[in-house]
């Protein structure tokens, strides 16, 4: 079964694949790919557990199928340009010079979408902090806060700090930006990213809960608060497709 799934997932040259398969496997693949997906039962077309399909159909109506089918496609690789260090057109030119295909994201003014899944960890643009990996949706969440120069801002569930870094750049490295999380382990992942970013207005701290003394001391003093609270994770199905089979209605109800 695993071999057959790997055969169906193959994205490379058909000529190469045909040389690696026996006649029976090649014929089986040809038959499967020839199936008209529109003729399949709905359950096979959307490939979602019943409880999730019913919930989404109830909420989305006619928009259910475009969403369900889009979940079959892998998530794109998006980067956020660190506007403290670079401009988007400069980053695009740098990516092209490195042999990568990239374009502006459709909505985020900082976003760049890179084709494929290249390794970025040794790319100069990444090492020097000109870009960070961040989905366009997360970039837009930071943008919606309207954070600006000189403000006091809190990222309440900062985690590894992707949105924290975006907020810091919006604030032009001024004011005070608190990055809080109940997990010190998650905040540890922020440290190297923060060092690359060039930001000095970020103050990470582990808190015990929402009634922590650090929180109380800032009551009534903060200009903006971003709370991207832990949830079911179902918004990441394109990146983590197996999650839908590991979740349950009970877990959904707790988070929703």
User: Mind listing the pLDDT tens digit of every residue in the chain (256 residues)?
Assistant: 678 888 877 777 888 888 888 889 888 888 888 888 788 888 888 899 999 999 999 999 999 999 998 988 888 999 999 999 999 999 999 999 999 999 999 999 999 999 988 989 999 999 999 999 999 999 999 999 999 999 999 999 999 999 999 999 999 999 999 999 999 999 999 999 999 999 999 999 999 998 999 999 999 999 999 999 877 778 888 888 888 888 888 766 665 5
Per-residue model confidence (pLDDT) at position 221: 96
* CB-CB contact of 14 with 22 (8 Å): no
* CB-CB contact of 76 with 106 (8 Å): no
Per-residue model confidence (pLDDT) at position 94: 96
* Positive or negative: CA dihedral 118, 122, 125, 127: positive
Per-residue model confidence (pLDDT) at position 254: 61
125, with CB counted inside 10 A (0-12, 13-18, 19+), is buried
* Positive or negative: CA dihedral 97, 102, 106, 112: negative
What values do phi and psi take at 71, rounded to 5?
A: -70, -15
Short-list 89, 172, 83, 76, CA closest to 132: 83
d(CA 255, CA 66): 24
């Amino acid at each position: 079964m695993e071999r057959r799934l790997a055969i169906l997932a193959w994205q490379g040259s058909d000529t190469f694949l045909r040389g690696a398969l026996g006649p029976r496997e090649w014929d089986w693949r040809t038959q499967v790919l020839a199936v008209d997906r529109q003729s399949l039962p709905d359950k096979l077309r959307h490939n979602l557990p019943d409880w999730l399909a019913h919930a989404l159909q109830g909420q989305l109506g006619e928009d259910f199928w475009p969403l369900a089918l889009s979940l079959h496609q892998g998530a794109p690789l998006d980067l956020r340009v660190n506007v403290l260090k670079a401009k988007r057109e400069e980053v695009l030119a740098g990516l092209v010079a490195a042999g990568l295909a990239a374009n502006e994201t459709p909505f985020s003014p900082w976003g760049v979408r890179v084709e494929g899944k290249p390794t970025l960890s040794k790319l100069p643009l990444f090492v020097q902090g000109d870009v960070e990996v961040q989905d366009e949706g997360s970039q837009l969440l930071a943008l919606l806060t309207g954070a600006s120069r000189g403000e006091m801002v809190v990222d309440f569930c900062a985690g590894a700090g992707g949105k924290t870094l975006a907020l810091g750049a919006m604030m032009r490295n001024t004011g005070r930006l608190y990055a809080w999380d109940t997990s010190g382990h998650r905040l540890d992942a922020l440290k190297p990213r923060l060092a690359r970013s060039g930001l000095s207005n970020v103050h990470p701290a582990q808190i015990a809960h929402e009634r922590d003394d650090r929180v109380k001391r800032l009551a009534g003093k903060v200009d903006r608060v971003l709370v991207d609270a832990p949830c079911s994770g179902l918004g990441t199905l394109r990146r983590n497709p197996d999650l839908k089979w590991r979740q349950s209605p009970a877990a959904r109800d707790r988070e929703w």
